[in-house]
Chain A
Amino acid sequence: MKNTLRQIFHSPKFMTGFVIFVVILLTLFFYPLFNPGNPLEMIGVGTFAKPGTYVSLYDALNTSRETLRLSDADDNRLAKQLKAEDRVAMLEWFNAMGIAVDFDISDTDALLKLWDDNYDPATKPKGMTMAKRNYYKRLNNALLQLKAADEIVLADVNAETKALEETGKVNKTDYVNVGQVANVKLLPLGTDNFGRDVLKELVSATGTSIIIGLIAGAVATIIGLTFGLLAGYLGGIADDLIMFITNVFTVIPGFVLLILISYSIGQDQRGASVVALVIGLTSWTWTARSVRSQVISLRNRDHVNLSKLSGHSLFRIIMTDILPYIASYVVMAFILQVSSGILSEAQLSLLGLGPKTTEVPTLGLMMNWAMLYSAHTNGSWWAYFPVILTITLISFSLNLMNTGLDQVFNPTLRD
């Protein structure tokens, strides 16, 4: 046993998979300690906030300021408001209006002055589309901000007179230390369509999905193993009967069966564990078939026959003389079942047949909502790509472990 374990942990494939899986598990355990709270809480009002650090503007105004005179600050500001393509677009506008531009458009001051003198949002150059005219309006507003004074005045409503009173100013050179702002929220993966913290949800969903995978894998393996052992060892009518059932289930595509069962259960009954159970109940067939074939090759071995002659019970023979010989195989099958259970949940949820949505996040549900909100077409990669990556990593690690184990237990595969 010790030797086997050592062999296993010396297999580079197994170790790679194992390390990835353990890292995922550790993240599941530790991340919620750093970022506690309900993963389904809708913190963002609005959809798909971009990944990044969010600083409370309100608190920042009340944080003590430092004055930094950065030489490139104005340039950065300008570059943010007036991009190279905006300059070209301004030139197009001048051309459409028949205004001569006798300087290089990289000359910001001249460009802005000419724009200032001529632009009027009400004008409608011939042949210019509404979309283009709206673009110029927005550009003009951005340029107005550039021209604004060096300070922004803060004002408050006087409780008595209801008039605005100046309470402070913000200068262009004012900076605050992010560390001193009372509220800074790091959203490494932004928010999803409900305004939920994607990373927090992802961690929670990964946990749920692994549990679904484990339940589905356990159910499938137990059923498959029991049927396989009985059919293989008993043979005869029992074998025929069990293989008949197995064949029936093999012929019907498992996923179609899964869809039909999930659909007929109805959404209000579909908790995460029910979905796991359904997945397990529809994916046991190949375990049963392969266990059976292994058992058939074992059942006429001498030690089994000796056991029979000694009058041992069926249960004892199976548990002590047959099961240990196929245990390694069963473990590998179990790992694969877990992996395919997680994938099946994702597929089901993507079709809207997954667990009901209000209780727990799962990887499939996250993808389902991202798809319903067209995250894939509107460029909100953070809502679905990390989910896909996580699913891939889990199945990859499980499959690597399986291959590693295979090489250890199956001498013909050894290098």
Chain B
Amino acid sequence: MKKLLALILALAMVLSLAAASAQTVELPRNETLYFAGQQWGTVNSWNIIGTNQNNAMAIAGGPSGYRTLMFETLYMYNFMDGSMTGLLADGDYVWNDAMTEVTVKIKDAAKWSDGTPVTAEDVKRTFDIGVEIGNGTGTGYKAYIAEIVADGKNLTIKAAVNEAGVPVNPLKVVDFLSGAPIAQAAWIDAVVARNNGDATAILNDAGEDVVWSGPYTKYYADDQKVVLVRDDNYWGQDASMWGKLPVPKYIAHAMYADNAAGEVALKAGEVDVCQQFIGNVQNLWLEDGLPISTYYEEAPYGVCLTMPTAWYNMNMPVLAENAALRKAIAMAVDYDTIIANAMTNQSPSFADVPRSLMNPTGGEQALYNQAEVAELQWAGSDIEGAKKLLDEAGIVDGDGDGWREYKGEKIALNAVCPNGWSDWQASMEVVAAAGEKIGVEITTLYPEYSIYQTVFTNPNQVEYAIFMWSPEAASPSNPWTRVNQFLGTEYVGVENNWSGNWGQYVNEEADALIKKIPVTTDAEELKALYTELTKIYLTEVPSFSLMYRPSVFHAVNESVWTNYPAGDDGRNIPPADCTDGYGIAALYELELVNP
């Protein structure tokens, strides 16, 4: 009897397991656009005003614009030309003369998924609740926006002003227009009510009943994949917006164990759009003959918007007291090797785009006077120059052991980045090799990311001497935001600092210049300010960039879909994975290879 019972139980278990595994959704391949490199792990929530959603396809403020598949922003940012295209907003935003107010009109056609119109009140409520409960929108913009005034479809954003009545940072107000996803006021009220107004509870609400305005909504999510389905009632098919629906019916993202798995899936044609770094990506088409392309056919294959940077830890006296040592190490590093090895040439070289505070896009490069700082720039591998600099500064090898000393002690530094981040690890190896050539001992150290992130965001850490992190890429407020990250004192001493100046570098002069920029509108004056800051940065060397790098990678496989954006197609759609900022325009133009 017992045996029979056990047998039945075992059978039941096997059957239920089989049933569970059979539940996975099957999607028609030629209606589905598959992604890789965005979503790692199970989706936590769909709560647009919450935190910790881990929902990369639906809720993600990327460095190249907000991902507007499900939730929409007022404007879509295009990093190719810095333009802002109205999404929920109708026409351009208008500043008043003193730059204390910006007015925006909401499109008449804009509707929520429940059919109600999107109004200025929704924007106001989104901002207000953000400030109240402290979500990303609230903490990100409350210092720059005093209040939002709603009047039907008309919206006035009042910038925060200082004592003198000058706006704190109008650039950040513009960031809000393209960076803050708008939630429905009525839905926010419902969430607040069911959580009794408790901020923590609101932030952690799962938001399964969320109301959206974008062209896609949730369809399926588990620990294997997440799928969005097209909302065929999407308001954007109105002539005032896209005039049609996006082409793919489903947006799907399988959870891959690591980059290698995602790359294999891309090669096999199981992934259409891949946001992953792929070393020697050109071999995919040159040698393997696969139908895979990047935005540009030739190196650097994509649009580099940021520069992964090695930061010097100013908590260490030897680094803080010796600008010569900081500059010498930076001069000795062989950047060509880093770019060829770590980036497999998917970055312009520092000879092509000399180092400064700017990313390599034409718009930012034009913002400073290159001739004036040419003397200070270095392209790397300058061992003799670096040695000379150290000798002049009195940092010499006194005891003849081959290593230089400072105040009688051998200089021993480490170069640190997270384990498994292979391109950064390779860069740190090259930095260590440069140290050896100029007699400064640098050893590499690769802690696990979970440890790394707690140490480098700690303002008092003395464990990492040279460590890597990337500054901001592109947004309406850049390059100001990035310059502030490099030289501003705003983030010095901030606990759990994810915002900037991780090396804790303090320079009052630079700080004063940085504060002037947001309220400067005169182009010449702006250029002079940025040039001056670049001079300070290149003289003081509180950090040094190792390469240029796209903020999102964009490789597409044309086995199923085609007509992806490309550098020479004249459509001005940025390579933003068909999802971010104005990059989403690509979704409306995709075509099937075999219709």
Contact = CB atoms under 8 A, between A and B. Distances in A.
Interface of B: 260, 263-264, 267, 279-280, 283, 285-287, 290-293, 297, 334, 336-337, 340-341, 344-345, 414, 419-420, 422, 425-426, 429-430, 432-433, 436, 443-447, 556, 558, 562-564, 566, 593
Contacts of A249: none
Interface stretch (A27-35, A370-378, A399-407): A370-378
B334 to A, nearest CB: 8
A193 B291 contact: no
A40 B430 CA distance: 11
Interface stretch (A68-76, A123-131, A223-231, A319-327): A123-131
A40 B432 CA distance: 12
Given A42-B337, A47-B340, A374 B279 contact: yes
A48 B279 CA distance: 11
B287 A379 contact: yes
Contacts of A255: none
Contact of A48 (B260, B264, B280, B433): B280
Q: Considering residues A47, A130, A194, which has the most beta carbons from chain B within 10 angstroms of its beta carbon? A: A130
B292 A131 contact: yes
Nearest to A352: B419
Nearest to A40: B433
Task: Determine the main DSSP class of B at the interface with A.
Answer: mixed
Contact of B445 (A134, A193, A268): A268
Nearest to B339: A45
A47 B280 contact: yes
A358 B432 contact: yes
A134 B293 contact: yes
A138 B279 CA distance: 21
Nearest to B594: A127
Contacts of A267: 444-447
Contact of B341 (A47, A131, A135, A374): A47
Interface string A237-278: 000000000000000000000000000000110000000000
Nearest to A268: B445
B558 to A, nearest CB: 4
B593 A46 contact: no
A303 interface: no
A357 B267 CA distance: 31
Contacts of A130: 293, 556, 558, 562-564, 566
A84 to B, nearest CB: 14
Contacts of B340: 45-47, 195
A195 B338 CA distance: 11
B291 A42 contact: no
Given A47-B280, A378-B283, A357 B444 contact: yes
B293 A195 contact: no
Nearest to A375: B279
Contacts of B436: 358
Nearest to A372: B422
The 9 closest A-B pairs by CB, nearest first: A129-B558, A372-B422, A131-B291, A46-B340, A45-B340, A129-B562, A130-B293, A131-B293, A358-B432
A378 B290 CA distance: 13
A137 B285 CA distance: 13
26 contacts: A45-B337, A46-B344, A48-B280, A129-B558, A129-B562, A130-B564, A130-B566, A131-B291, A135-B285, A193-B426, A194-B337, A194-B341, A195-B337, A267-B445, A267-B446, A267-B447, A268-B443, A352-B419, A357-B444, A358-B432, A358-B443, A358-B444, A374-B263, A374-B279, A377-B264, A378-B279
